[in-house]
A and B are shown apart, each in its own frame.
Chain A
Amino acid sequence: MSVGNSSAATSANLNKDNVLTSSDRVDIDRRFQEEALVTGINSSPGDLTRGVKKNGTTGGSRVEIGRLVVSPPAPSAFTEFFRAIQKWEGKVIRLADDTFTATLSPIVGDPTELEAEMYVEDVTPDERHFIEPGAVFYWSIGYLERPSGRIRESVLRFRRLPVWTKDDISKNSGDLSALFEE
């Protein structure tokens, strides 16, 4: 989803593995800070990017940690990055025909907790099947900074959680009845 002059929202640049496929480089520090808030990662900023492929940067190894990619910083002269002014974690609480309602908990920016009714068509078609009560997404508003200029963007991306496994379910089947009186 994008607004302003951007016809190619950041979400549209994600492939199915949730990795940016363009040659764009994302602002490392800003992305790190946002993702660290989401994922609870506690590392020094500046050495992590989130699934970003480099282009025209100096060499260096990429070490994948789950969906995170560790790489050395690139020269800023070649960068194009998204600068979030506001970011929320959303939780879908209701789905209607062409809209869905979600609570929005702030991650970056104004700390006000909100509730929004959003249009389904603003979610990329690949992700619409995620929209159901309980689904989690991230909504970022900010600027895509490019050498050619600044584009205001609104990016909405659903969290791709794994599926429950038999192990998940079987190992969690304990009973807490001892903590309740008879």
Chain B
Amino acid sequence: MPYLRSSSGTVLSAPNHNEVEVSIFGPGYGEAIALHVECGKWILVDSCLEPTSGQPAQVQYLEQLGLDVSTAVKLVVATHWHDDHVQGIGTLVARCRSADVVMSAALKSEHFSALLRLYGEGAFPGSSGVTEFVNVLRLLDERRQAGTKINMAKLAVPDKLLYRDSILDHDQSYDVEIHSLSPSDASIVSAQLDFSQRIPLSGERKKRIVPPHTNATSVVLWVEIGERRLLLGSDLEKTADPKTGWTVILNDSQVTREKAFVYKVAHHGSESSHDPGVWERLLHEQPYALLSPYMIGGNILPKDGDIDRLARLTPNAYMTATPGGRRFRMSNRVVRDTVESVAKEIRGIRAGWGQVRLRCGIQNDALCHVELFGDAHNIAAS
């Protein structure tokens, strides 16, 4: 694949068994993470589609590394119900047969179940991630009926241990633990109320469901691998309510006792997701900050001010593509002229495609190596 030609020309190869890797993939629309935690075992967070193949980006990447995803992947996390985070996650779960599935606890709701049944059954194909969740739950149901061990979704709540392993590497042993830090109880209650209000009424005209604003129910992950700590911020935002958003984690979390050297920047670097407390209390100085852009509904993230802020906070901020998209220019002259005369504005949804890959040892003083693929770039250098 052309996009997997790294800027340094490195040949693709799997990480060493005791090497940490975090890769973030992202077009202008979508975001996904692959995390190598130990000895060929991987954790996948969210899902997006690689544009040329239409396949989930992480599956394609791991297979290019020569790995068998059906055995290598141990955990698949769907952080929240937004299209840009769950595209292709049904395929991901189907392919990663030995992986536990994790979802936000907000989704265990009779109203969310009803929405899946109402909107996920054929009449509205591809709508708003509903189809993806239907596919995931259908797979789990099939596994349950077949008596397979992995047959239900784990629920993410604050400070919950989702994955644990102990590694003996020659004469050295170390632990791997992954905790969810969110969603908070108040966020769960609020989301479930929102779901109930989206159940259609008799006589109401059918339409595709628009997902609610569920960023507060995003699953933030805290990863410990040897001495390394990583914070994967999903789309969690800062809120005025101290019972939701980053404030809950900063005030209440018992597992974030040390500081992380990698931060998957929350919510595409938006101002609304930026809490100075996160940078002061949860992150090393000048951490590796990884993010992907977003653009839907005229909402482009990160904005110029967000990029400036990130660049001031760390010289090690990397983004998978340039935000803002590309102005649409159709090759067919008739279509191009017509579109330009009819639409007030039109542009490609995908702003490009890229992958940021960071690899390092499990000791805090081990060297880190960042590679950039496709449109990925260092924010400070651009």
- Residues on A close to B: CB < 8 A? 1, 3-4, 85-86, 91, 93-94, 99, 101, 103-104, 109-110, 112-119, 122, 130, 132-136, 141-143, 152, 154, 161-166, 168-169, 172-181
Find out whether the CB atom of A109 lies under 8 angstroms from the CB atom of B205.
no
| A173 to B202 alpha-carbon distance, docked (Å) | 13
- Residues on B close to A: CB < 8 A? 29, 103, 107-108, 110, 113-114, 116-118, 121, 137, 140-141, 144, 151-155, 199-210, 295-298, 325, 328, 330-332, 334-335, 338-339, 341-350
Find out whether the CB atom of B117 lies under 8 angstroms from the CB atom of A172.
yes
Residues of chain B lying within 8 A (CB to CB) of residue A133: 207, 210
Find out whether the CB atom of A164 lies under 8 angstroms from the CB atom of B349.
no
A-B contact pairs, 13 of them (CB 8 A): A3-B341, A85-B332, A103-B349, A134-B209, A162-B205, A163-B202, A163-B203, A164-B202, A172-B114, A173-B114, A176-B116, A177-B108, A179-B137
Find out whether the CB atom of B117 lies under 8 angstroms from the CB atom of A94.
no
User: What are the 4 closest A-B residue pairs judged by CB atoms, nearest first?
Assistant: A134-B207, A172-B117, A161-B206, A176-B113
Find out whether the CB atom of A86 lies under 8 angstroms from the CB atom of B335.
yes
Q: How many Å from the CB of A182 to the closest CB on chain B?
A: 9
* Closest B residue to A180 using CB positions: B108
Residues of chain A lying within 8 A (CB to CB) of residue B199: 169
Find out whether the CB atom of B202 lies under 8 angstroms from the CB atom of A165.
yes
* Closest B residue to A94 using CB positions: B297
Known: A93-B296, A181-B153. A110 touches B144 (CB 8 A): no
Find out whether the CB atom of B297 lies under 8 angstroms from the CB atom of A93.
yes
Known: A101-B297, A180-B107. A141 touches B207 (CB 8 A): no
Find out whether the CB atom of B204 lies under 8 angstroms from the CB atom of A179.
no
Q: How many Å from the CB of A181 to the closest CB on chain B?
A: 5
With most chain B CB atoms within 10 A of its CB, the pick from A1, A115, A142 is A115
Q: How many Å from the CB of B329 to the closest CB on chain A?
A: 10
| A145 to B279 alpha-carbon distance, docked (Å) | 63
Select which of A116, A161, A164, A174 is within 8 A of B346 by beta carbon: A116
| A132 to B202 alpha-carbon distance, docked (Å) | 18
Residues of chain B lying within 8 A (CB to CB) of residue A104: 346
Select which of B335, B347, B349 is within 8 A of A141 by beta carbon: B335
Find out whether the CB atom of B205 lies under 8 angstroms from the CB atom of A163.
yes
Known: A91-B208, A152-B338. A116 touches B348 (CB 8 A): no
Residues of chain A lying within 8 A (CB to CB) of residue B331: 110
Q: How many Å from the CB of A97 to the closest CB on chain B?
A: 12
Find out whether the CB atom of A116 lies under 8 angstroms from the CB atom of B343.
yes
Find out whether the CB atom of A136 lies under 8 angstroms from the CB atom of B207.
yes
Select which of B103, B335, B346 is within 8 A of A180 by beta carbon: B103
| A175 to B206 alpha-carbon distance, docked (Å) | 22
Find out whether the CB atom of B342 lies under 8 angstroms from the CB atom of A174.
no
Residues of chain A lying within 8 A (CB to CB) of residue B153: 179-181
Find out whether the CB atom of A179 lies under 8 angstroms from the CB atom of B141.
yes
| A129 to B147 alpha-carbon distance, docked (Å) | 50
* Closest A residue to B83 using CB positions: A103
| A62 to B295 alpha-carbon distance, docked (Å) | 47
Find out whether the CB atom of A117 lies under 8 angstroms from the CB atom of B343.
yes
Find out whether the CB atom of A175 lies under 8 angstroms from the CB atom of B334.
no
| A169 to B144 alpha-carbon distance, docked (Å) | 26
Residues of chain B lying within 8 A (CB to CB) of residue A122: 342
| A165 to B204 alpha-carbon distance, docked (Å) | 8
Find out whether the CB atom of B345 lies under 8 angstroms from the CB atom of A177.
no
Find out whether the CB atom of A141 lies under 8 angstroms from the CB atom of B334.
yes
Find out whether the CB atom of B208 lies under 8 angstroms from the CB atom of A136.
yes
Select which of B116, B118, B205 is within 8 A of A168 by beta carbon: B118
Find out whether the CB atom of B118 lies under 8 angstroms from the CB atom of A169.
yes
Q: How many Å from the CB of B210 to the closest CB on chain A?
A: 5
Q: How many Å from the CB of A119 to the closest CB on chain B?
A: 6
Supply 18 further A-B pairs (C-beta < 8 A) apart from A3-B342, A181-B153.
A85-B334, A86-B330, A103-B349, A110-B335, A114-B348, A115-B295, A115-B298, A116-B339, A116-B344, A117-B343, A141-B334, A163-B204, A169-B118, A169-B199, A174-B113, A174-B117, A176-B137, A177-B110
Q: How many Å from the CB of B263 to the closest CB on chain A?
A: 29
| A8 to B239 alpha-carbon distance, docked (Å) | 52
Select which of B116, B144, B348 is within 8 A of A112 by beta carbon: B348
Residues of chain B lying within 8 A (CB to CB) of residue A161: 205-207
Find out whether the CB atom of A101 lies under 8 angstroms from the CB atom of B328.
no
Residues of chain A lying within 8 A (CB to CB) of residue B206: 161-164
| A152 to B334 alpha-carbon distance, docked (Å) | 8
Find out whether the CB atom of A164 lies under 8 angstroms from the CB atom of B203.
yes
Q: How many Å from the CB of B256 to the closest CB on chain A?
A: 24
Q: How many Å from the CB of B16 to the closest CB on chain A?
A: 34
Residues of chain B lying within 8 A (CB to CB) of residue A180: 103, 107-108, 152-153, 155
Find out whether the CB atom of B298 lies under 8 angstroms from the CB atom of A117.
yes
Q: How many Å from the CB of B134 to the closest CB on chain A?
A: 9
| A168 to B151 alpha-carbon distance, docked (Å) | 28
